A and B are shown apart, each in its own frame.
Chain A
């Protein structure tokens, strides 16, 4: 070997490091999967409707979605109904047409309640899906008594005047003056105008009430659509009646509002297609009933299984069987099974660490004779314990070797099980205490959780580092020591080995030439 910092045979070290890297990569993958899921859960949830499953995580607000063909159909019917209503109204002249202002929903409650009410209502009503209408109905019923509006004028709802969003949706001014764009914009608007719309509809309905004469024709037309509500809600009834799905006003059960919330209960204030976040809806969520049932059955049974004790008859029968079997075993079998060897090894490893600790404690100064005597006795006890461990180790080694002899193929774990449920069989489990318990781990603050996670990771990493360190010692030191006689400056190698062995690979020593400058 030349000056190149070559290492010789350290394949065990390499394989250990590679294995450690693989383990890390696997953990990271699992973690990332979980993180993605968590982020999705904390982001926006799009409520799923049975007919049209929407994509997840659509950002709130500024989404332009194309109205579905069904919605277009509804829209068409709605428009025709309104047309009819208009014609009926025109035939009974009342107050002069009030110019419909440019501003819509924002000023709906302020300036021209009636007209803008109509306006704002048109948009949602014409494009909105049924539940809105039904809600309108119910809202109207409540507000039926308020008669603040005297005059209003219906503007043809089916005209494609651009409808500005009533709230802060001003950016959604549609460019194309086509029906679809209006629909799109209005759909957009509809999603945002619960409050305004319902308010205006109240007023609209209220306004509809005093219209005595047109009532009957409206009612007639409503009846032609199969509406069955009272006259006060005539237009609403028409609209409602138009909906092919819902013929009766009270069929809230069928509305997509509730339909879309099969999984979770959401307060009735929200529109079907709205997004929401976990943060907003928190305590209103409920797990689905089938899951709740299954969960409670399941946890009850786990409790029972945990409490279930083997009877003495069972224990006796079991041990008798084991004895009989043991008697037929090959008498030359090694004293420890591989499973036992592994378990004992873990115990010994911990014992070693414990002994080292005790040893260190005793190497501190001994000022008094009492202390010295105590130290002596302790050391004797430690020596005793150590020799016991060594003895055990010898036995284990002998057993392992005889295992190798008898069944060589097996000892390198060549037959690796792939199924997860083989883990207990292969002994990767650790500790069999409380086998059927349902343990819960309580934490009381975010800081606690973080600390626990950080510590856990740290401890596992330290274990790994120690194992690696031991292999490093076993494989790197001999290489250096065998280099001593040579003097062709192994400084690179020395430095590298020093770093790995003494500084955990983090810092480097400095090597200086021991030459006096002239």
Chain B
């Protein structure tokens, strides 16, 4: 960890420009002033209060610090000094700066925020079917519950799904109508027709003034992002320089290296596994476009592909569910044999 002073021929003004671009690329609600960065480097207390970018719970400052800590913990940030910061925000702006920069680097924070906060003007169709895990934490207290309550909950759930299906089908009908009625009107030839939002924009232009503003603000954020990408190296070099101050312990260093190597090995093995078993890779949100003739663009996707993938997945899942149910049947048959004086006749297969 020798000194890197003088290695980076800093351009005058490049750093402030980089930091400025970074700030402007962040969402408007959580945007620190560029000056905050400089203050933070010198660990000035007032920089702490200027807020952590990208995270914005509405509650008090204590909650905010706690929230930031939990986010970083979630992503595996391991600097003990950071977690030891007091919750009142009286100190630690440098640690916050480090943490923010780490997050920015590690999870491509800017790109994530830009994509997540994207102004929605199209009819969104999400293709991803990865369902999140339900909260599987052990419950705080035990409940004594009647099994009929379970049955009732289950029945309600099934009913809700059916009603959701009906609504969704109706939505498809209406969407298709709107798409076909407005085909040929959109200035973007690739898309060709209006979305619901755009059609409503024509019908009630006054209700959508905010949309226009959001669109414009997003555009300027994108411009700032492009600037930032140009000037990024300057920022990282500056950050590395600011890291030099504390040199880690030699032993700690070795342990750290070991940890990293192991983690990397595991990751690579996972990668090898992934290479053998290809995973279905359509994620995220798409804009729905009605187009009579088929088209084969690169980043775009056809409904036929989606349908066949979904059909395969549906078949897989149905098989798995059946398998689980069969297992249960076997187990329950065994239990039935243990019941005295009772015979169980399973329901007739449909």
Residues of A within 8 A of B339 (CB): 487, 490-491, 494
Other-chain contact of A34, B113, B171, B216, B331 (Cβ < 8 Å): B171
Residues of A within 8 A of B344 (CB): 494, 498, 509-511
Is A99 close to B, CB under 8 A? no
| Among listed B33-41, B43-51, B313-321, interface-contacting one | B313-321
Min C-beta distance of A229 to chain B, whole Å: 34
Other-chain contact of B294, A342, A423, A427, A444 (Cβ < 8 Å): A444
Is B307 close to A, CB under 8 A? yes
Is A515 close to B, CB under 8 A? yes
- The reply to whether A314 and B233 contact each other, CB–CB distance below 8 Å, is yes
Q: A288-B201, A440-B289, A514-B343 are in contact. Are A20 and B313 (CB under 8 A)?
A: no
Is A45 close to B, CB under 8 A? yes
Min C-beta distance of B43 to chain A, whole Å: 16
Is B336 close to A, CB under 8 A? yes
| Among listed A77-85, A109-117, A275-283, interface-contacting one | A275-283
- The reply to whether A421 and B113 contact each other, CB–CB distance below 8 Å, is yes
20 contacts between A and B (CB under 8 A): A14-B145, A34-B171, A38-B175, A41-B203, A282-B185, A285-B199, A287-B186, A305-B114, A318-B105, A330-B78, A412-B135, A425-B103, A440-B191, A452-B307, A460-B131, A461-B161, A473-B324, A473-B328, A481-B335, A510-B344
- The reply to whether B332 and A502 contact each other, CB–CB distance below 8 Å, is yes
Q: How far is the CA of A453 from the CA of B164 in the complex (A)?
A: 11
Complex interface bits, A452-473 against B, C-beta within 8 A gives 1, otherwise 0: 1111111111111111111101
Other-chain contact of A41, B185, B196, B313, B321 (Cβ < 8 Å): B196
Q: A288-B201, A305-B226, A444-B291 are in contact. Are A439 and B299 (CB under 8 A)?
A: yes
Complex interface bits, B65-92 against A, C-beta within 8 A gives 1, otherwise 0: 0110011011111111000000000000
8 Å CB interface, A340-373 against B? 340, 342, 344-347, 350-351, 353-354, 356-357, 360
Q: Across chains A and B, which 6 residue pairs bring their CB atoms closest together, nearest first?
A: A337-B76, A329-B78, A431-B283, A317-B236, A443-B303, A424-B112
Residues of B within 8 A of A32 (CB): 167
- The reply to whether B201 and A291 contact each other, CB–CB distance below 8 Å, is yes
- The reply to whether B71 and A501 contact each other, CB–CB distance below 8 Å, is no
Other-chain contact of B154, A40, A446, A467, A500 (Cβ < 8 Å): A500
A446 and chain B: residue at smallest CB distance: B176
Is A195 close to B, CB under 8 A? no
Complex interface bits, A481-516 against B, C-beta within 8 A gives 1, otherwise 0: 100100101111110111111111101111111110
Other-chain contact of A442, B106, B229, B301 (Cβ < 8 Å): B301
Min C-beta distance of B52 to chain A, whole Å: 11
Min C-beta distance of A455 to chain B, whole Å: 4
A469 and chain B: residue at smallest CB distance: B324
8 Å CB interface, A410-435 against B? 410-413, 415, 417-435
Min C-beta distance of A390 to chain B, whole Å: 13
Residues of B within 8 A of A39 (CB): 174
Min C-beta distance of B230 to chain A, whole Å: 9
- The reply to whether A351 and B273 contact each other, CB–CB distance below 8 Å, is yes
Other-chain contact of A295, B73, B121, B173, B319 (Cβ < 8 Å): B121
Min C-beta distance of A518 to chain B, whole Å: 15
Is A448 close to B, CB under 8 A? yes
Is B3 close to A, CB under 8 A? no
Min C-beta distance of A51 to chain B, whole Å: 14
Residues of A within 8 A of B313 (CB): 459
Complex interface bits, B171-212 against A, C-beta within 8 A gives 1, otherwise 0: 111111110011111111011001010111111111010001
Q: Indicate the size class of the contact surface on chain A.
A: 35 or more
- The reply to whether A357 and B316 contact each other, CB–CB distance below 8 Å, is yes
- The reply to whether A25 and B299 contact each other, CB–CB distance below 8 Å, is no
Is A3 close to B, CB under 8 A? no
Residues of A within 8 A of B102 (CB): 321-322, 325
Is B10 close to A, CB under 8 A? no
Is A6 close to B, CB under 8 A? yes
- The reply to whether B167 and A354 contact each other, CB–CB distance below 8 Å, is no
Other-chain contact of B57, A296, A304, A313, A417 (Cβ < 8 Å): A417
A412 and chain B: residue at smallest CB distance: B137
- The reply to whether B226 and A304 contact each other, CB–CB distance below 8 Å, is yes
- The reply to whether A310 and B303 contact each other, CB–CB distance below 8 Å, is no
Q: A301-B226, A505-B158 are in contact. Are A10 and B332 (CB under 8 A)?
A: no
Q: A31-B164, A466-B317, A473-B324 are in contact. Are A500 and B299 (CB under 8 A)?
A: no
- The reply to whether B147 and A7 contact each other, CB–CB distance below 8 Å, is yes
A47 and chain B: residue at smallest CB distance: B203
- The reply to whether B215 and A298 contact each other, CB–CB distance below 8 Å, is yes
Residues of B within 8 A of A452 (CB): 125, 303, 306-307, 310
Q: In the complex, which of the residues A41, A346, A430 has the most CB atoms of chain B within 10 Å of its own CB atom? A: A41
- The reply to whether B229 and A308 contact each other, CB–CB distance below 8 Å, is yes
A8 and chain B: residue at smallest CB distance: B144
Residues of B within 8 A of A283 (CB): 182-185
Q: How far is the CA of A298 from the CA of B313 in the complex (A)?
A: 35
- The reply to whether A440 and B172 contact each other, CB–CB distance below 8 Å, is no
Residues of A within 8 A of B109 (CB): 425
- The reply to whether A326 and B202 contact each other, CB–CB distance below 8 Å, is no
Q: A305-B226, A443-B303 are in contact. Are A467 and B324 (CB under 8 A)?
A: no
Is A102 close to B, CB under 8 A? no
Complex interface bits, A268-306 against B, C-beta within 8 A gives 1, otherwise 0: 000000000011001101111011101111110110111
Residues of B within 8 A of A4 (CB): 146
Residues of A within 8 A of B287 (CB): 438-441
8 Å CB interface, A372-419 against B? 385, 388, 392, 395, 407, 410-413, 415, 417-419
- The reply to whether A410 and B131 contact each other, CB–CB distance below 8 Å, is no
Residues of B within 8 A of A421 (CB): 27, 30, 54, 56, 113, 116-117
Q: How far is the CA of A442 from the CA of B335 in the complex (A)?
A: 52
- The reply to whether B74 and A451 contact each other, CB–CB distance below 8 Å, is no
Residues of A within 8 A of B229 (CB): 308, 310, 314
A358 and chain B: residue at smallest CB distance: B277
Min C-beta distance of B259 to chain A, whole Å: 6
B101 and chain A: residue at smallest CB distance: A321
Q: A25-B160, A425-B112, A513-B342 are in contact. Are A446 and B172 (CB under 8 A)?
A: yes
Q: A353-B316, A419-B57, A444-B292 are in contact. Are A294 and B342 (CB under 8 A)?
A: no
Residues of B within 8 A of A294 (CB): 212, 215-216, 219
Is A177 close to B, CB under 8 A? no
Is B60 close to A, CB under 8 A? no
Residues of A within 8 A of B164 (CB): 24, 27-28, 31, 457
Residues of B within 8 A of A6 (CB): 144-147
Min C-beta distance of A81 to chain B, whole Å: 36
- The reply to whether A37 and B196 contact each other, CB–CB distance below 8 Å, is yes
Residues of B within 8 A of A449 (CB): 172, 175-176, 288, 290, 303
